[in-house]
Structure 1
Amino acid sequence: MPTIYEPAKKTLGDLLGDPSRKTSVPDYQRDYSWTDGNIEYFWQDILDFMNAHPGSTMANAEYFIGSMVRVERESGYELLDGQQRLVTAVILLSAIRDKLAPLNEKAAQRTDDKWIVDHDDLSGDRRYSLTLSRYDRDYFRRRIQDSGCGSPEPATESQRLIDGARKKFDSEIEAILNGITDEKAQTDWLLRLRKAIVDNVTTVTVTCVNEDEAAAIFETLNDRGLGLSTVDLLRNLVLRRAGESDREEVLNIWGEILSESLSVDVEDFLRHYWTSRHGDIKSQRLYRAIRGHLKNNAGPASLEFMRDLRDAHQAYVRLLRPDFDNREMVERLYDVADIKAKMLYPLFLACLNKSESHLPLVVQFGLTFYVRQIVIARQSGSKSESTIYAAAKYLWDTGDVAGSLAWLYRAALPDGSFADAVSNLKNLDTAHARYLLRGIEINRRATEEVDVARQPRIHIEHIYPQKPREGFRWDKHSEYVGMLGNLTLLSRRINVTIKNAPFDIKRHELAKSELHLTVEVAKNEEWTPAKVTERQAALAEEIKGLWSWPVEVIDEVRLAAEDFEM
């Protein structure tokens, strides 16, 4: 049986310093994803290793950082597993190079030439030890590998993390060098750090010669805990399945999608895209479901799938950054984001595709369902998700808007139970409490052309404080402090010295507010448990009216729900 892979011990210097075969990250691989916590862990491990092996004792010591997997190509190696560690090593080496430059220019140049970028004096070519995927390639070269290029602005989340890693290493190295007054000693410490990275950090590197076997290893590693994201795996799969003539367009579409990754979570989008068409599926099963769909003989080709994904992503961005003429719907979509009701997006996606003219009603109905079930009734998110995703799939399959909303209506609390739940609202999530009170404030200003701010410019304030001053604590503190009737809105943070003060002092600060809800509270001479209960009942009545089912569609939805039951 022919050998399809060969494992061997390699130092990071071996992997980065091969003069004839450089390493690249294929375009289907994950982007750089190490956060400050990962960088801190890596950095402390290197320092601990150096401290544990002082002087010449480090020469024969090893710091093992796990396995890496690469595929051998004619032009070099493609890295399947190990990108995060290898990229981080290059970032650290670049920081060492730049700190060495004013101390020992030759040592800085050797660091650059051997492990970062090799310069051909005759041709002027630059051969990078590590080339990232097309999404981060240019940024990584300008920010990390090419010295003297400054700090270009990050355009994606992965670029922000690369920039953060470099700044972290710069700061940590600078702090240590500041404690060493002699320049020779500073140089020696930097060279010792460099040696630890390139000579003492080791891996077991598996080199594959067969792409199909490498792909199998790639997915097997994930099954065994590598933790690749759905995005990583899907990019790998789609690009492997794409024809040569289609690959460039597939890559461009991925680039469009990933360019929005700072504001649009790609993992969330993929799940919402899938559930809007196929119903509920858990995140950990998503990749296998999409893979099965694509590998099915009747499934779409890679390019066809990616074009559909691009169109859906453009629609998804419109929902997250609302771009519609209907102002009321735009405000409701901002509400969805404020209260983190992202489970609604698959339903909205399906409607946007099948019947955009009905989207305002679907958004209003969906938001009402979420408020009644999640905010008021405190139903588990998974149960509500299943209902919403079933409604989305039904709308996608049939185009029947009223029928899809009937899924929500049938699963919702009856009006009587909803009224009881509203009357007993307490200890709400801060975002949910702010949303309800803001909705009431806007309703009371119905004839005024005044905007009521959103987070973070508007805050929740406990009228009777969470930490009252000594002597002012109510007997049933925990029963009343979290009730909705004890909460109001402030457009600025109240002075800390007044925040926990008795009401007769605090009310003068509340009276300065421009918000009706807060000014009305300040008109009270005193604030007591009875006042909280009274205000709770009044707010409950307003909530029942504001978050009742939309009259424009409820009769049709009820009829559709009755047909389901038949």
Structure 2
Amino acid sequence: MGLDATNSTVYDLLNDKMYLIPVNQRKYVWNDNNWQEFWEDIDLVYKENITNHFIGSIVLEREKSQEGIRNCFSIIDGQQRITTITIFFAVLAFVYAKNHNKEYFAGLNKPLFVRDDKNESHPILSEKANADVSLLVEKIFKHGNQCIENSTEMVSLKELFDECGTPAIIKKCFQFFYDKITVTADKDMQIVKKFQSIVIDIRYIDIVAENDEDAYAIFEILNARGQALTDFELLRNFLLKYASKDQKDGVHQKLKDISSRLGDDADIFLSHYVTHRYGIKSDKKNKRPYKIIVAKEKDKSKYSLLEDLDLKSKYYFKILTFKDCSRLEKKIFSFFKPRRQQQFRPLVLSLMHQLDLGAISLGIYEVNMQFLYEFFICYHLIGEQSSNKLQDVVHKYSENIENQFSLKLLDDFKKSMAERIPSEQNFCNSIKNIRFSNRWKAYSDNRKRENVRAIFEVLERELGYKGDFSGCNIEHCYPDSASEENCQIGNMMLLEKPINDKCDSKALAQKIGYYKDSALVLPSQIEPDFSIADRNEWIAKKLHSYISSLKNNA
């Protein structure tokens, strides 16, 4: 392994070099705790006059010259520290400019910029390392030079951030150090300059790899020693490590696309992906998604794996965002997401893929998606059952539908799910807990409204209604303001808005005539003196019979 390790300081780190960050690295993720620790270390060195701070090792890979700059390096390990130090110096530059301190301001050119062979300046932390920080540094020096030369006021932080479109995490870091520095600057600018010197003198071990193979090996060694790397970061490294020279650009781009598409949801996607593709439930220990994928794909084409990940990430993006979805998909995904229904996602990935492959028609796809939706309503909302009890079915059929597809599998899947529906008595007992009212605060939140709507949509479909529900409201037959008991689902139904408006503030006996005008099934069944308790039970039994019948009809 070709390595060069030396004792160095931040002065060496940020001196006549340009840094890039490879695609297999995470975004900037440090937070208040990290920034506070960094600040306390600087403050301790200043107050106690002790030996300068040591920040461990920073691992770099030497790159070819870029933009006329000879010393270019990719950051393999140390991105968070280098980015934080750069932001810290950017804060100092902003404060110096604001105070019209020309000498101190000019002195920060050295640790923040590198000159190319045409003597033009470029941020040391380049656009390819962190475009947001790179732009922020450039704008601070542009406005700072104008401010000092013309003896005008420096732009405000808000104006600066707005101009740069600075993301929240960078703004938060900048603001953290700005608040610390300005307290000191108001007392004595010499102390601020001392803080700058302390950071310049921070020590570290500089490790430079000469090629990709060494860099990826170091990356894996660092992870094995306990560095907190996500499964997606590890998988990126795995895919890049085995990419041929001809494939590398394509691999980089696909990984970048997946990361951009899924953002912070990349790891949860991988956990659902391994269930969908291999039928395995992952965890955060020995069965991490990364480990499962590497073990399963060890002797297979890594590029084919990446293409599949790219495709399935597009499906997953639809599940997360409801974008580019059909009307049915949007209804289902938007209903599942706030209720934290994630367990069906591996199944949905498999169904989406079979639709794309042409193995199932759009009609069959929608029938099975509708089944998942209705099953969730009956099993979870009415039956009050835990999704954990479905784990074995989801794992088995997600993988089978993906890899061994047949139409019979879809029937077997629905039958296996239906067998887990709780008893009819359980339905009758639990349905009394489903309530909604605009009058009673305990039952007035929007999710309760949506739950009731969803249940009645399923029931109306089962009773033969073929129309649309978009123009329907929830109707309380007896006024819900009269009693808490009138908030139960047995006192409700869906009703077209124009008819619902006519029924407003009227007694039930007067409403019955309007109910007969509805195209929906349930309104015409309402009697003038019906029992809410009896209707609760009727609704429960009807839905239980419907969802349970699938195990006999499949």
Q: CA deviation at 1:91?
A: 1.4
Contact 1:409–1:558 (Cα < 8 Å) also in 2: no
Q: 1:292 aligns with which of 295, 315, 329?
A: 295
Q: CA deviation at 1:544?
A: 6.1
Q: Which amino acid aligns with 1:286?
A: P
Once residues 213 and 324 of structure 1 are traced to their aligned partners in structure 2, the CA distance between those partners, rounded to angstroms, is 42
Match of 2:196 in 1: 194
Q: 2:134 aligns with which of 138, 141, 149?
A: 141
Return closer, same or farther for 1:28/1:441 CA change in 2, 3 Å cut-off: same
Match of 2:29 in 1: 33
Match of 1:78 in 2: 74
Larger of the two Rg values belongs to structure: 2
Q: Which amino acid aligns with 1:123?
A: K
In structure 2, stretches of 5+ residues that fail to align are: 65-70, 144-159, 355-359, 436-441, 475-479, 493-498, 509-530
2:335 is aligned with 1:332: no
Contact 2:393–2:417 (Cα < 8 Å) also in 1: yes
Q: 2:405 aligns with which of 398, 413, 423?
A: 398
Match of 2:53 in 1: 63
143-152 or 325-334, which moves further after superposition? 143-152
Match of 1:238 in 2: 239
Q: CA deviation at 1:194?
A: 1.8
Q: CA deviation at 1:31?
A: 1.9
Tell me the secondary structure at the aligned position of residue 261 of structure 2. Answer: coil
Tell me the secondary structure at the aligned position of residue 31 of structure 1. Answer: coil
Match of 2:105 in 1: 108
Contact 2:18–2:73 (Cα < 8 Å) also in 1: yes
Return closer, same or farther for 1:437/1:119 CA change in 2, 3 Å cut-off: same
Once residues 176 and 378 of structure 1 are traced to their aligned partners in structure 2, the CA distance between those partners, rounded to angstroms, is 58
Return closer, same or farther for 1:374/1:117 CA change in 2, 3 Å cut-off: farther
Once residues 418 and 258 of structure 2 are traced to their aligned partners in structure 1, the CA distance between those partners, rounded to angstroms, is 34
Contact 2:275–2:282 (Cα < 8 Å) also in 1: no
Task: Report the TM-score when normalising by structure 2.
Answer: 0.71
Percent identity, aligned pairs only, is: 19
2:361 is aligned with 1:361: no
Contact 2:375–2:547 (Cα < 8 Å) also in 1: no
Tell me the secondary structure at the aligned position of residue 343 of structure 2. Answer: helix
Once residues 13 and 271 of structure 1 are traced to their aligned partners in structure 2, the CA distance between those partners, rounded to angstroms, is 42
Once residues 126 and 325 of structure 1 are traced to their aligned partners in structure 2, the CA distance between those partners, rounded to angstroms, is 47
Q: CA deviation at 1:432?
A: 6.2
Q: Deviations over 1:229-269 (max 9, x none)?
A: 1111111121221122222222222232222345x722222
Q: Deviations over 1:430-487 (max 9, x none)?
A: 886454234358789988754779xxxxxxxx999xxxxxxxxxxxxxxx99x9859x
Return closer, same or farther for 1:43/1:332 CA change in 2, 3 Å cut-off: closer
Q: Which amino acid aligns with 1:361?
A: V
Return closer, same or farther for 1:53/1:393 CA change in 2, 3 Å cut-off: closer
Contact 2:344–2:394 (Cα < 8 Å) also in 1: yes
Match of 1:217 in 2: 218
Return closer, same or farther for 1:543/1:313 CA change in 2, 3 Å cut-off: farther
Return closer, same or farther for 1:389/1:310 CA change in 2, 3 Å cut-off: same
Task: Report the TM-score when normalising by structure 1.
Answer: 0.69
Q: CA deviation at 1:419?
A: 3.7
Once residues 163 and 241 of structure 2 are traced to their aligned partners in structure 1, the CA distance between those partners, rounded to angstroms, is 32
Contact 1:67–1:206 (Cα < 8 Å) also in 2: yes
Q: CA deviation at 1:15?
A: 2.1
Once residues 545 and 328 of structure 1 are traced to their aligned partners in structure 2, the CA distance between those partners, rounded to angstroms, is 24
Tell me the secondary structure at the aligned position of residue 71 of structure 1. Answer: strand
71-80 or 443-452, which moves further after superposition? 443-452
Q: CA deviation at 1:50?
A: 4.4
Once residues 141 and 81 of structure 1 are traced to their aligned partners in structure 2, the CA distance between those partners, rounded to angstroms, is 19
Contact 2:261–2:313 (Cα < 8 Å) also in 1: no
Q: CA deviation at 1:123?
A: 0.9
Contact 2:45–2:52 (Cα < 8 Å) also in 1: no
Q: CA deviation at 1:287?
A: 0.4
Once residues 210 and 218 of structure 1 are traced to their aligned partners in structure 2, the CA distance between those partners, rounded to angstroms, is 12
Q: 2:35 aligns with which of 17, 34, 43?
A: 43
Match of 1:97 in 2: 93
Once residues 143 and 386 of structure 1 are traced to their aligned partners in structure 2, the CA distance between those partners, rounded to angstroms, is 51
2:422 is aligned with 1:413: yes
Tell me the secondary structure at the aligned position of residue 118 of structure 1. Answer: strand
Contact 1:46–1:196 (Cα < 8 Å) also in 2: no
Return closer, same or farther for 1:48/1:166 CA change in 2, 3 Å cut-off: closer
Q: Which amino acid aligns with 1:129?
A: I
Q: Deviations over 1:104-124 (max 9, x none)?
A: 12322221x22221235x714
Q: CA deviation at 1:190?
A: 2.7
Match of 1:477 in 2: none
Contact 1:239–1:247 (Cα < 8 Å) also in 2: yes
Once residues 337 and 401 of structure 2 are traced to their aligned partners in structure 1, the CA distance between those partners, rounded to angstroms, is 22
Match of 2:431 in 1: 422
Contact 1:433–1:484 (Cα < 8 Å) also in 2: no
Once residues 191 and 234 of structure 1 are traced to their aligned partners in structure 2, the CA distance between those partners, rounded to angstroms, is 43
Q: CA deviation at 1:335?
A: 0.4
Once residues 434 and 117 of structure 1 are traced to their aligned partners in structure 2, the CA distance between those partners, rounded to angstroms, is 58
Aligned residues: 472
RMSD between superposed Cα atoms in Å = 4.4
Q: CA deviation at 1:351?
A: 0.6
Q: Which amino acid aligns with 2:351?
A: C
Return closer, same or farther for 1:189/1:437 CA change in 2, 3 Å cut-off: farther
Q: Deviations over 1:164-194 (max 9, x none)?
A: 32344344444554xx2x6xx2x32332232
Q: 2:169 aligns with which of 135, 154, 161?
A: 161
Q: Which amino acid aligns with 1:49?
A: D
Match of 2:120 in 1: 125
Q: Deviations over 1:193-231 (max 9, x none)?
A: 32232223x334444456434423322332332111111
Contact 2:274–2:292 (Cα < 8 Å) also in 1: no
Q: Which amino acid aligns with 1:395?
A: I
Match of 2:513 in 1: none
Q: Which amino acid aligns with 1:114?
A: K
Q: Deviations over 1:275-303 (max 9, x none)?
A: 2221132143210122223321xx1232x
218-227 or 142-151, which moves further after superposition? 142-151
Match of 1:14 in 2: 12
Return closer, same or farther for 1:345/1:393 CA change in 2, 3 Å cut-off: same
Tell me the secondary structure at the aligned position of residue 101 of structure 1. Answer: helix
